[in-house]
């Protein structure tokens, strides 16, 4: 079975789905690897490194898709709507494609993907269960995003993060507020603390308070009822607008006191909730910085413009729309481990076995035999999920 790794075509995407170091695991399982020419260059990996590990190089994209039985991508069609459209014509029945697909936000695109006959898997739907942890690419990329968000803030803030006692006097530490304490938020807390800032964090899920405190930060308590704020998978749930209105009112003071605000709050498949209003931004000190790590989902700040920097009343608002791509070497290494572990989970004697009874496979499987088979996507399409998971093994 041939595993194909195409070059990423999403604008400014510097990651690659498989790094040379991950190839040995696939070859030991009896798989061959084919990499599109130049696929790893943006993440620091030459074609020679891939061939040195036993991979072959495809001169072009068409050749790669023609020969590959399984295609591994960072951004598959759905998470790469415009440029990824061209790949639809290259997919075929019986071929498998694995990558980020953004299926809950783009269910109609999943339907078009099904029309190719390919078997598609969405990495962002990986269940958060113990045995799937090595495959959890969403958490891996969130770790990178949380780290990089703090560094962007430190670079743009016109003061230093740590407290310094010098002959010229005492430099007071920066005050950093992290909003949203998922994987990205926790990494942002840890990074800001390592840089010496005074860190406060807030999340609608009260269960994360101990995690925040364990990292040496203060947990901001607003006294709001949040018992319904977390789903069974550990992800934040969208709440009603009245809740968010009260939350914004109570959070305004903490934001005004902060030198840096980093927002990471997002709900899978939905637009990010607005947590920082224009009025709150105007209440911040000149020189303050907001890094909106949820910019790709529309942003947690009302003034965020995805992919752009905004200046408002002396406050800088950064809207990076692909933070992991700014750290492509380590982001690619982590993603390659996630996706190769997932692939090998489904490989038996050199062949791909799609076992829909396996929770890991069932929760990530989007399309099969020309049909959309994921219940949540079918529900978004207004179609019945009946029988979607009872199809025979490949």
- 3-class secondary-structure state, position 3: strand
Among 73, 53, 65, CA closest to 7: 73
State CA 55 to chain mean position distance.
27
Provide the pLDDT for residue 391: 42
CATH class of 2-136+328-380: alpha beta
Long-range Cβ contact pairs of 381-387 (< 8 A, separation 24 or more): 381/107, 381/108, 381/110, 381/111
Angle between helices 137-156 and 183-194 (to 10 degrees): 40
- Residues belonging to the active site: 128, 133, 136, 139, 235
**Tens of pLDDT, residues 126-180:** 999 999 999 999 999 999 999 999 999 999 999 999 999 999 999 999 999 999 9
**Tens of pLDDT, residues 362-374:** 999 999 999 999 9
Average pLDDT over residues 101-105: 95
Sheet of 96-100, strands arranged across: 56-58, 32-36, 2-5, 70-75, 96-100, 119-122, 365-368, 371-372
| Residues 204, 138, 88: CA angle, nearest 5 degrees | 130
Under the banding of pLDDT at 50, 70 and 90, the label for residue 376 is: very high
Q: CB within 8 A of 176, min separation 6: which ones?
A: 150, 153, 161, 192, 197, 198, 199, 200, 258, 259, 260, 261, 262
Angle between helices 137-156 and 328-345 (to 10 degrees): 170
Q: CB within 8 A of 254, min separation 6: which ones?
A: 177, 200, 202, 220
Instruction: With 0.85 as the threshold, say if the pTM is over it.
Output: yes
If you search the block for the tokens 């498998």, which residue do you land on? Answer: 96
Mean pLDDT of the chain: 92
**Which segments of the chain belong to CATH 3.40.50.720?**
2-136+328-380, 146-321
| Res 339 pLDDT > 80 | yes
Question: Phi and psi of 342, rounded to 5°?
Answer: -65, -45
The CB-side HSE value for 67 (13 A sphere, CA atoms) comes to 20
Provide the pLDDT for residue 250: 79
Give the integer Cα–Cα distance in Å for 180 and 264: 5
Task: Just give the CATH number of 146-321.
Answer: 3.40.50.720
Alpha-carbon dihedral 71, 77, 82, 86, rounded to 10 degrees: 50
């Amino acid at each position: 079975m041939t595993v194909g790794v195409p070059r990423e075509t999403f604008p400014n995407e510097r990651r690659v789905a498989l790094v040379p170091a991950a190839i040995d695991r696939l070859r030991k399982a009896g798989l061959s690897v084919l990499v599109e020419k130049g696929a790893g260059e943006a993440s620091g990996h030459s074609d020679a490194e891939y061939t040195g590990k036993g991979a072959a190089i495809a001169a072009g994209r068409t050749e790669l898709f023609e020969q590959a039985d399984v295609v591994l991508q960072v951004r598959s069609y759905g998470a790469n709507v415009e440029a990824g459209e061209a790949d639809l014509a290259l997919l075929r029945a019986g071929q498998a494609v694995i990558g980020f697909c953004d299926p809950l936000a783009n269910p109609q695109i999943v339907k078009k993907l099904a029309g190719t006959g390919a078997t598609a898997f969405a990495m962002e739907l990986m269940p958060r269960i113990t045995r799937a942890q090595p495959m959890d690419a969403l958490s891996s990329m969130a770790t990178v995003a949380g780290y990089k968000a703090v560094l962007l803030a430190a670079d743009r803030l016109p003061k230093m993060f740590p407290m310094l006692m010098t002959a010229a006097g005492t430099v007071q530490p920066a005050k950093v507020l992290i909003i949203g304490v998922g994987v990205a938020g926790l990494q942002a807390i840890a990074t800001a603390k390592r840089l010496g800032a005074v860190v406060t964090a807030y999340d609608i899920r009260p269960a994360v308070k101990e995690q925040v405190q364990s990292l040496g930060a203060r947990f901001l308590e607003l006294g709001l009822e949040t018992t319904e704020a977390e789903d069974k998978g550990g992800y934040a749930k969208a709440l009603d607008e009245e809740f968010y209105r009260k939350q914004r009112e109570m959070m305004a003071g903490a934001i005004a006191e902060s030198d840096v605000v980093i927002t990471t709050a997002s709900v899978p498949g939905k637009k990010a909730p607005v947590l920082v209003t224009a009025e709150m931004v105007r209440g911040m000190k000149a020189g303050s910085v907001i890094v909106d790590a949820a910019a790709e989902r529309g942003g947690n700040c009302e003034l965020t413009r995805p992919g752009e920097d905004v200046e408002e009343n002396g406050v800088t608002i950064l809207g990076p729309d692909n933070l992991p791509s700014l750290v492509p070497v380590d982001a690619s290494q982590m993603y390659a481990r996630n996706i190769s572990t997932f692939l090998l989970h489904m490989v038996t004697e050199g062949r791909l076995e799609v076992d829909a009874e396996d929770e890991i496979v069932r929760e990530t499987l989007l399309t099969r035999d020309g049909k959309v088979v994921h219940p949540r996507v079918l529900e978004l399409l207004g179609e019945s999920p009946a029988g979607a998971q009872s199809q025979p093994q490949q």
